[in-house]
Structure 1
């Protein structure tokens, strides 16, 4: 999105996007604490203008992010309370997540090594080569689009991140880091409304969805 501020701070119906995300976790009954990872240069801004202003109590620590999303998640995992058993990793730019979806994802983890909130794709997917020629059309029934939260036992996701860092591996999401160490990660049906805001069209869609809630 062509803007000078981070997308998490873009106004949505009068509040920064990140506020809706944090309030959903604030209201989720199975969430005890939130570790918020942001750019180092805006940590004070978040403390004053987001956490304090909107009365968000569950954010216990604000952590400086890394160069990549993966580094940022790794930094956040280092600051999670040691008594924590389960972590739910979420994109700040998904403000339409609901407390119910968050709680359901945590409840659904059970004894699994990981769980990714996802939705089945509706469009036909094409695998395309560098020459723009279609190489394969995979079975759409087996393809799901990953969302967040992505939920894991703390010990497993920490180890997966540490191994990825040691190996120089960069995954497209946290679930892929657990998959590469040989553990199974399951999907749980998410919501089409749980969109990630990355374009002006996404912002418009979010406004429409919120107006109907």
Structure 2
């Protein structure tokens, strides 16, 4: 069963500060995007990786990293769109037509484990749509506009969505086509699939699979990757 991966990294990364975008920040001498790519390229069942970045970064990647990317199953580098869902769609359209499963992953999650990648793939084979998620550990409070607590939300069935999120290719393209002209921003790909009425299942992950957003996240990732 052919598996394609869309790695999404076309955002501005403004919360990190500085002039270098998040995917290109180094951790232990290697840019974040390369740490992430290697996690997927080392998974045997994955046949190709589509890299989605800002249009301004495409030439730089081709000039500086093409040989490394070729060795890591990166088949295409695609420009992102205005919103995340536009960037994902651009990448999905470039996946192989014979791919049966597509994984969508944030390129700034370099700590995803190989066994979790494989677990998501296996769950998609069974159920058509699955995401990696970590169980909620914190006590969650719901508050009003005045910040007065309204209730404590039971956390037993609460999960923190992560990536990769995996889908049968035919399904995810159908769903993206359905919402192509809808003026709404979806926070993740599974939300779009849920909205279309299809079931999505959770594959339990860990808190280590962080999305690097702030300088504090960088320090955590450096410690974990060490």
Query: Bigger shift: 101-110 or 57-66?
Result: 101-110
Deviations for 1:60-93, whole angstroms, at most 9, x for unmatched residues? Answer: 1110001111110011111111001100000000
Shift of 1:166: 2.1
> 2:177 matched to which residue of 1?
162
How far 1:13 moved relative to its partner? 0.6
CA distance in 2, matches of 1:26, 1:209: 20
For the residue of structure 1 that corresponds to 2:99, the secondary structure is: coil
Cα deviation digits, residues 24-52 of structure 1 (max 9, x gap): 11101111000110001110112232342
3-state SS, counterpart of residue 116 of structure 1: strand
Residue pair 1:164, 1:170 contacting (<8 A) in 2 also: no
Judge conservation of contact 1:74–1:161 (CA < 8 Å) in 2. Answer: yes
Note the C-alpha offset of 1:94.
Answer: 0.3
Alignment partners' CA distance in 2, 1:94 and 1:74 = 19
RMSD over aligned Cα atoms: 1.4
- State the distance in 2 between where 1:185 and 1:2 align: 35
Counterpart in 2 of 1:36? 51
Task: Indicate which of 183, 186, 190 corresponds to 1:171.
Answer: 186
User: 1:199 — aligned with what?
Assistant: 214
Aligned to 1:85: 100
Does 2:155 match 1:140?
yes
| Cα distance in 2, alignment partners of residues 55 and 138 from structure 1 | 47
Q: Which of the two has greater strand per residue?
A: 2
TM-score, normalised via structure 1 length: 0.94
How many residue pairs are counted as aligned between the two chains? 211
Q: Distance in 2 between matches of 1:19 and 1:173?
A: 23
- Alignment partner of 2:139: what SS? coil
